[in-house]
Amino acid sequence: MNLDVNTLFMVTIYVEAILGILLLFAWAQNMAIQGVCWWGFAHLIRTASVVLFGLYGSAPDLITIDLANALLFAAFAATWTGARVFDGRPVEPVYLVAGAVTWLLICRAPFVVETVEVRALIASAIITTYTWLTAYEFWRGRDEQLVSRWPAIFMLFANGSLYLLRTPLIAILPRSLTSSSQMYESVWLTVLSFEGLLFTISIAFILLAMAKERTELRHRTAAMIDPLTGIANRRAFLHDADEVAKRHAGRPRPAAVLLIDLDRFKSINDRFGHAVGDRVLEAFAQAAQDVLRPADLFGRLGGEEFGALLVDVSRERACEIAESLREGFALAGRDVDEHAVAGTVSIGVAHCDGPVLDVPELLAQADRALYFAKENGRNRIQLASLDLFSSALGREPADAPAGTRSVA
């Protein structure tokens, strides 16, 4: 099979159609990612455009050039719109059809109709604009950790740049095209058509990979994030804490575990309803994140119980952070959704300055300290200590055990 424009036209038609159907099929399996639907229709629109281009010489220029290019621009606009929708941005109907409408209007100007170079320049500018806009949309969403974004951005930018080369290459073509064979015989047009076909195939599979990567990322996130508060759930907290413990073995640093429980939370649900109870949990999670350091681990362990792992922190500093957290929520939980909730928390603190960071053991110590805080009035922090554990076993506790803090 000879690699000429006629052959490439036929191959491109089949490839565009198949890719469009493939993308629509992928969207039908997961309709949550609507950008894939836009990309599928973009390929089908481009298929229609290539079919009309292939009729050059046997149909009026109004169809094979004007309408074909308008559909081509609409296809690139649909790809750009799909990138916007993919990242949660609204559809822009005006800009969606702006390229096609601009082309159809400009094509009526006499100097445009008579000059091939001007028509090529306008067409290249419109395609390049939409292609670069698509790359920009993906660039704007780079905060989402999708590896496949980067090859998509690079390929879109590079392809848009290559489109600009088509205008100077027009100067090589004959000024007056009296038959379709003259246009098809251009080696440059063959090369550019082949590049366009390769780009179409590559970007379609990259977009599919991006959609698949997002789905997998959301599944992983759903498995590791508490849906109400947006913080780590128990599984994620313990997993991350285990990773911290492994690093601790190579570089021991003092650490502390906080176990936090919202006081009388069942009573809050009973008095104000579960909707307000959910808002109280959200308020606490936000108050805690305002106090904790970026390097600290924080998660919801279940119900109204939360945990935090503080690394490279002294016993005194851990208690200060816990106290700031308690005070912060006492203020934030005073009124929630215009309800006088008066929410408070009790916090158990367990500290470790040894070479081994045993998170489960620290959680157990913090749990015993938390129990002591709840039994002794709530709305207080309690540091795990030998004196505390001795009193829990029935011995007489000291009047003020070291590290114990209470709030009346």
Active site members: 304
**Token code pair at residue 55:** 């009729």
- Do 241 and 297 touch, CB atoms closer than 8 A? yes
Q: Is the CB of residue 23 less than 8 Å from the CB of residue 208?
A: yes
341 half-sphere exposure, CB direction, 13 A CA radius: 35
Torsion, Cα 27 30 34 36, to 10 degrees, reads -40
For 117, 250, 337, the CA distances from 263, given in Å and listed in that order, are 76, 38, 18
Dihedral of the alpha carbons of 313, 323, 268, 277, in degrees to the nearest 10: -40
What's the token pair of residue 354? 């040894």
Are 30 and 6 contacting, i.e. CB atoms less than 8 angstroms apart? no
Question: Tokens in use for 257?
Answer: 């575990």
Distance CA 178, CA 81 (A): 38
343 contacts 329 by C-beta, under 8 angstroms: yes
CA distance 373 to 401: 13
Q: Is the dihedral of CA 364, 296, 379, 285 positive or negative?
A: negative
Q: Measuring CA to CA, how many Å separate 316 from each of 296, 383, 390, 402, 403? A: 16, 10, 22, 11, 8
- Among the residues of 251-314, which ranges form H helices? 265-272, 274-291
Amino acid at 33: I
Does an H or E element contain 307, and which? strand 305-311
